[in-house]
Structures are given as structure tokens and as C-alpha cells.
Amino acid sequence: MRDARTVYNGRWGRERRVVRRASMVLCTHNREDSRRSGSRKISSCPHRTCAMAVVCVLCVSVRSWAGITDLFVPGQRVLWIGAHPDDENAAGGLLVRARDRAGTLYLASFTRGENPPQTWGGLRRGSEIAQAREALLSEAAGILLANDWSVGPFVNGPHTLAELDAMPPDAPFEGWPPDASSADVLAKWAGEGDPVGFVVGLLRTWRPHVVVTLDGYCGVSGHPEHRAVGRTVEAAIPLAADPDQYPALGEPWSVSFLVLTGRISDDLTACGLCKCEGDPPPEPIEHVLALDTSATHGGTYYYTACLVQANYANTMQELGLTPQEREAACASNESMLQQSYQQGNTQDPITEPYRLRVVATPVPAGRGGGWLWASAMIVVLFWLFGYRSGAPRRLA
């Protein structure tokens, strides 16, 4: 209830103030017209109700996308785009919420994670690890109840797939140099495909209303491929809406919202954001509660996200935990976080930090957004041209 009141007073409170101000403006215009025409001063504003109706209609439309949690309504399609299988853990609770509230969730990864720092199970970097991590992405999609998933043609790390496959089993890890930039990554990926075209194809195939991805500033951990993905997604979204761009990839599609991760790892914070690139996104951080209950998955959003993360860790770190043991561990963590939340703690992972960017004016599914805006514009035009242009009626 505490959070509900905060949202109501903060968000709807602003909208109520807008209604009052707009109605006062319209009433002022009406009284000025009456005085100029010699009519009696009107003590009550005949257009006050009209003004309030207009602004209320606008506010209802704005309300449907006033915050990140408001984006996920039935009929909306949500797409996660990451650099590697397991990157979806950076937005785990939000993706569970998206599937639960909106009903349609897609996952995509640029690479299959062919070049991880640590290997497991005797697998070699390259094709063997790639197959194993792709299988883990499929399992993650199953836990999240995602509708579909996809991987791109790009290879993780500075080496090609052929180079990785040719390395001996005991070859040391060779990753990107510490000063590698997103431009370095994209230059290498350009030899393996078209990064922007890959995203445009995803957008036009799955036609998501909301895209969730890694930010191009720090990318959570400072990994250059994370930053490269964030910047590529931002570049691809307007191109996907342009019919003159990539015509072979399908009909244009306009994304309404882009949600960027706001997490910054402890290591990155400790080094003074040493692996971040450029300026931070201008949008403010919004903290989204992960302890709401999912009617689709059971348990909280955090609990399902924890199961995804535990499945990756169990395989890649060779923990040897049974499904029941992983479920028990996540349930225990969930209980501790709920107790902490009741005591007033809202730190990550109780809440998850994101930035919301409005890309295009949305027509919210199931909210009647189109007719609301149309009705509002009709009323406004009537007032401007119908009422204002006519001769004022003199009161008897």
C-alpha cells in the first residue's frame, strides 16, 4: 500500500494539477471574451467541464505509459536483446514481469557466447561452448515462458569461430583488451554479418512494442560487447521504422519504448567506471520492484529470475545442484529479500534500475489509446474554432 499511495500521489497528483491548470486557462479565456463583448461576468465557467474532460482524456492516455511497469499490458510484445546467453539476467525480474503482464516475450542474443573466461565440462571454446550456451539460452526461455528466442551470427570475443575452434583445449583465455571500445567490437562483427540489420530483422519479425536491452554507456559490467549491443539497438530502432531501409527484411515496424539497463557492477564502480563509454543516457533511473507476484509463473518476479540465473550458474560453474535444491535456494533468497523489503530496504535486487525512453507515440493495447487521443483532439479543435470564432452570446 505504501508504494501504491506513492505512485498515486506522485503520478496522478501531477495529472490532477494539470487538469486544474488547463481548466483555469480555458475559463480565463472565456471570461475575457465575455467582458470584451459586453456580456455579464460569468461566475462559473461553462467550459470548465469541457476543459477537465479534455485534459482527463489526455492524462488517461499519458497514464498508460507513465512508468516502466505501465508498459506491460495485455497485447504488448516485449523483446530482450543481449550480447550473450545469460545477459538476460541483467533484467531478470523485469522480463518475468513483461511475460506475466503483457503475455508475449522474446529473447535474442547477438552471440552464442563462444569465448567465455571459464570453460566447463571439458568443453572447448568455440563451437562446443557455443552449443552448450545456446542450450542454456533455450532453457532460460523455457523458465521465463518466452514465446521464442534467437541467436545472431556474431562471435563472442576478438577471434573468429574458426580461430577458436583451432585452439588447443588448454589454450588460455584471450578476450578483448581493456581499452576495447564498442567501435572495435562492431568493426569485428561487421566481418561476420550486419549488426544493425540483425536487429532490424528482429524488430520487423517479432514487432515488439517494448525493447529491453543493455545500455550503451556501461552495459552493466563494462563489457565492450554489451556496450556495442546497446548502441546498435539504438541505431536500429529508427531504421526499422523506415520503409526505405532494409526493404528485404520485411514491413517497417515502429518500437514505442526502449528500456535500458541501469545496473553498474561493483567492479565497475570500484574502478571509477573505467570501462564505460561516452555520456550516460539522459533519462532518469527508475527502480522497478521485483517482489510482485507473477500469476503466470508462480512466486515473485525475483524468484523466477533467480531460477534462470541459478540454472546458468549450476552448469557453467559445475555446482551439481538438483532442480529442487536450486528452487529451495531461490525460495530462501526470496524470503530474505521480502523481509528486508518490509524493513524499508529497496536496494537491488529488491528493485531493479532501468531507464525508459519513449521512442514513438504509443497506442496502448487494450486501453483504447487511439480513440482517446482522437476524441481529445476533436474537443480541442471544437473549442478553438467553433466556440472562439463564433459571436459571443449576450446574456439577458
For the chain, how many structural domains are there in total? 2
At residue 307, the pLDDT reads 99
Q: Are 13 and 126 within one domain?
A: no
Q: Are 153 and 232 within one domain?
A: yes
| Average pLDDT of the residues in 227-238 | 98
Q: For residues 372 and 302, which has the higher predicted lDDT (pLDDT)?
A: 302
> Is 68 a domain residue?
no
> Is 354 a domain residue?
no
| Average pLDDT of the residues in 310-331 | 98
pLDDT confidence tier of residue 65, bands split at 50, 70 and 90? low
pLDDT confidence tier of residue 360, bands split at 50, 70 and 90? confident
Range of the domain at 157: 74-349
At residue 391, the pLDDT reads 43
DSSP assignment of 206-260 equals H--SEEEE--SSSTBT--HHHHHHHHHHHHHHHHHT-TTSSGGG-S-----EEEE
Q: For residues 10 and 171, which has the higher predicted lDDT (pLDDT)?
A: 171
At residue 149, the pLDDT reads 99
> Is 175 a domain residue?
yes
| Average pLDDT of the residues in 290-314 | 98
Q: Are 53 and 117 within one domain?
A: no
At residue 278, the pLDDT reads 95
Q: Are 196 and 252 within one domain?
A: yes
Q: Are 170 and 193 within one domain?
A: yes
Distances (CA, A) of 328 to 303, 310, 331: 10, 11, 5
> Is 328 a domain residue?
yes
DSSP assignment of 11-50 equals IIHHHHHHHHHHHHHHHHHHHHHHHHTTPPPPSS-TTHHH
Q: For residues 209 and 32, which has the higher predicted lDDT (pLDDT)?
A: 209
- Position 6 pLDDT exceeds 50: no
Mean per-residue pLDDT of the chain:
84
Instruction: Confirm whether pTM is higher than 0.85.
Output: no
Give the span between the Cα atoms of 213 and 95, in whole angstroms. 11
Q: Are 11 and 154 within one domain?
A: no
End-to-end CA, the chain = 53
Q: Are 269 and 314 within one domain?
A: yes
Q: For residues 391 and 353, which has the higher predicted lDDT (pLDDT)?
A: 353
Q: Are 126 and 222 within one domain?
A: yes
> Is 363 a domain residue?
no
Distances (CA, A) of 66 to 8, 286, 335, 370: 11, 11, 30, 16
| Average pLDDT of the residues in 215-240 | 98
Q: Are 192 and 230 within one domain?
A: yes
Q: Which residue has the cell 509463473?
A: 297
> Is 361 a domain residue?
no
pLDDT digits (tens, 9 = 90+) for 67-126: 999 999 999 999 999 999 999 999 999 999 999 999 999 999 999 999 999 999 999 999
The enclosing domain of 336 has a CATH number of 3.40.50.10320
| Average pLDDT of the residues in 136-142 | 99
Give the span between the Cα atoms of 57 and 372, in whole angstroms. 6
Q: Are 220 and 271 within one domain?
A: yes
Q: Are 260 and 234 within one domain?
A: yes
| Average pLDDT of the residues in 193-204 | 99
Q: Are 32 and 55 within one domain?
A: yes
Strand partners, 77: 104
- Position 365 pLDDT exceeds 90: no
> Is 27 a domain residue?
yes
Task: State the Cα angle at 218 between 277 and 354, rounded to 5°.
Answer: 135
pLDDT confidence tier of residue 377, bands split at 50, 70 and 90? low
> Is 160 a domain residue?
yes
What's the number of CA atoms in the CB half-sphere (13 Å) around residue 149?
Answer: 24
Q: What is the 3-state secondary structure (H, E, C) of 41-75?
A: CCCCCCCHHHHHHHHHHHHHHHHCCCCHHHHCCCC
Phi-psi domain of 190 (left: phi exceeds 0; alpha: psi -120 through 50; beta: other): alpha
Q: For residues 396 and 227, which has the higher predicted lDDT (pLDDT)?
A: 227
